Amino acid sequence: MTAYLPPLRDMEFVLRDLAGLDQVAALPGFEDATPELVGSVLEEAGRIAEEVLAPLNQPGDRQGAKLVDGKVRTADGWQAAIDTLIDGNWLGLPYAEQWGGMGLPGLVNVAVSEMWQSANMAFALCPMLTQGAVNAIDECGSPEQKAKFLPKLVTGQWAGTMNLTESGAGSDLGAIRTKAVKTGDHYLISGQKIFITYGDHELVENIIHLVLARTPDAPPGVKGISLFIVPKMLVNDDGSLGARNDVACVSLEHKMGIHASPTAVMSFGDKGGAVGYLVGEENRGLEYMFVMMNHARLNVGVQGLAIAERAYQQARAYARERVQGKAIGCAEKGGIIDHPDVRRMLMTMKSQVEAMRALAYVAAAALDQAHRHPDAAARAQAKLEAEFLNPIVKGWCTEVGNEVASLGVQVHGGMGYIEETGACQHLRDARITTIYEGTTAIQANDLVNRKILRDQGATARAELAKAAALAADLRAHGDATLAAIGSALSAAVTAAGQAVDWLVGIAPEDARQAAGAGVPLLRLLGTVLGGMQMARAAAVARRRLDAKEGDPAFWQTKLSTAWFYAESVLPQALGLLGGITGGSRAIMALDPDQL
């Protein structure tokens, strides 16, 4: 497997020139996020990714996590790696100093997360889930719960999990059966949860489970779900650890990928009931859990970006060194990187990675603005943008991440199908990202029903209007490359607008047809909004070239990559439009017994 090289230069460009790091750093509470500090944080995080996490990725995949005598054993090197993060207080990067955090923007945290997920996705899932638990408790927990659980979760001394799914219920959370019976100042939890990432391990001294359950008199469906904090080890009032709670890992799943991440079946209350503490009010658990879920969805979108970056680096390195045949137009044999179709695949990978990175970082910046902007109207507008982009980042980046990882195997040819090269692992690891934390269809349903139809397409049209204005500016530019990018973006934006208008019109008449078009619509919007970010990058690159600022080779590369995306990726939007407005009519044409 090729060594991982953190793409710091492109990350810093996106942070500064596309995501608006300066504006985010000017928000109240982020005053310490100076360019110098952020640069140092990224450089050190990249070093950890490259030197500590990446070397464990392939060995960890081979060794996997194991359940031995009731205890989960993680792969060799995992303990030293988590200790590195704890010693550096890396989990606390986006949290308030009150809880032991660094107080830096979530935008910076997303950049750090990208590097760790690229380096070792199976490992990075543990800190990712812990940060989600911190978010949920910080936003929804009582002052006493915050004081008891946040300090050690923020510093990484404890880990956190999210317990939603049950056998037979799947994504239908209204069907969960885990029970919670009030007993004094706590509840006794009983039931079983499946697919719990890092549900058990001994990397840290305690694990704080956030568990969805029903009280005896709860109404049916999702309106009767409550959220509970269920520690693996009970926590005394003084913060010390007490007895083991009635929580156990009863098995680990054997998975296609992320072998070194223990995916647990967790049993609560086998010996009478696990002690749990109600978060907020009864029957509002799903609302509270979505704080954690939305954090996870953004970060799983970043996983799609991250695994694509790693697959691209792997394929690029192999193409440079692999000599096979004489490429068309070349006098002598050279690396397969000179073959036009290999170049097409690498350019497809590179351009889509850069588009995903830009869109994910812009979404993270919108979240920071939504939480911290001093003006209420600006916060509300940023919240709308962040909510709109969240399912697109999760759904589009993971779907494209799978495709990029698959292209990585193709670039390797037959060697890509051999595990030793590492290309297979990227594809196997990527495959789960379109499924967990809500499948692509669930993201599409969220996009369609809660984001577009909620305001009759107003937010979607506002985002597309920005893209249309940019396209018009580029089309009028004297530079031929920018004009070509602008023309391609304009056509794609028109297609996206037509798709949104069609959805708003058809949904009241045929909800099933609207739902059937959801995933293609999500794909179309991701492609177009990613293209908008690439067009913005091209405009910046042209200005820097004209002003003779910085490295001209970097700016020319950025300009050419955006041009490729505009000419080769953006036209997909027009094909997707036809499938949305026309093809969706045929989805339900066959009876189930005809399939």
Place of tokens 């107003």: 458
437 catalytic? Reply is yes
> Mind giving me the DSSP string for 208-255?
EEEEEEB-TTPPSGGGG-EEEEEESEEE-TTS-EEEEPSEEEEEE---
Q: What is the pLDDT of residues 3-17, one digit of tens each?
A: 999 999 999 999 999
- Strand-pairing partners, residue 212, are 227
The single-letter DSSP state of residue 336 is G
Q: What is the pLDDT of residues 305-316, one digit of tens each?
A: 999 999 999 999
E strands in 430-559: none
Q: What is the pLDDT of residues 426-437, one digit of tens each?
A: 999 999 999 999
pLDDT given for residue 289 in this prediction = 86
For domain 158-284, give its CATH number from 3.20.190.10, 2.40.110.10, 2.60.40.1580, 3.40.50.11540: 2.40.110.10
Residue 293 has pLDDT above 90, yes or no: no
> Mind giving me the DSSP string for 268-331?
E-TTS-EEEEE-SSTT-HHHHHHHHHHHHHHHHHHHHHHHHHHHHHHHHHHHHH-B-S--TT-S
Residue 173 has pLDDT above 90, yes or no: no
Rounded CA separation 113/357 (Å):
12
Nearest to 198 by CA among 298, 122, 131, 112: 122
Q: What is the pLDDT of residues 523-564, one digit of tens each?
A: 999 999 999 999 999 999 999 999 999 999 999 999 999 999
Catalytic residue of the set 437, 463, 509, 567 = 437
Q: What is the pLDDT of residues 345-388, one digit of tens each?
A: 999 999 999 999 999 999 999 999 999 999 999 999 999 999 99
pLDDT given for residue 210 in this prediction = 97
pLDDT given for residue 1 in this prediction = 75
> pLDDT-based confidence at 290, cuts 50/70/90?
confident
Contact 171, 442 (CB under 8 A): yes
Contact 363, 577 (CB under 8 A): no
Residue 494 has pLDDT above 90, yes or no: yes
pLDDT average, residue stretch 509-525? 95
Q: Are strands 179-183 and 158-163 parallel, antiparallel or unpaired?
A: unpaired
Rounded CA separation 106/38 (Å):
12
pLDDT given for residue 323 in this prediction = 79
pLDDT average, residue stretch 151-176? 88
pLDDT given for residue 322 in this prediction = 85
The mean predicted confidence, pLDDT, of the chain is: 95
Q: What is the pLDDT of residues 332-342, one digit of tens each?
A: 777 889 999 99
> pLDDT-based confidence at 331, cuts 50/70/90?
low
Residue 268 has pLDDT above 90, yes or no: yes
Where in the chain is CATH 2.40.110.10? 158-284
pLDDT given for residue 117 in this prediction = 98
Rounded CA separation 194/249 (Å):
10
> pLDDT-based confidence at 394, cuts 50/70/90?
very high
Interaxial angle between packed helices 121-140 and 143-154, expressed in degrees from 0 to 180 and rounded to the nearest 10: 160
Where in the chain is CATH 1.10.540.10? 8-154
In words, the CATH class of domain 8-154 is: mainly alpha
Q: What percentage of the chain carries pLDDT values higher than 90? A: 90
Contact 290, 382 (CB under 8 A): no
Rounded CA separation 135/227 (Å):
14
pLDDT average, residue stretch 45-64? 98
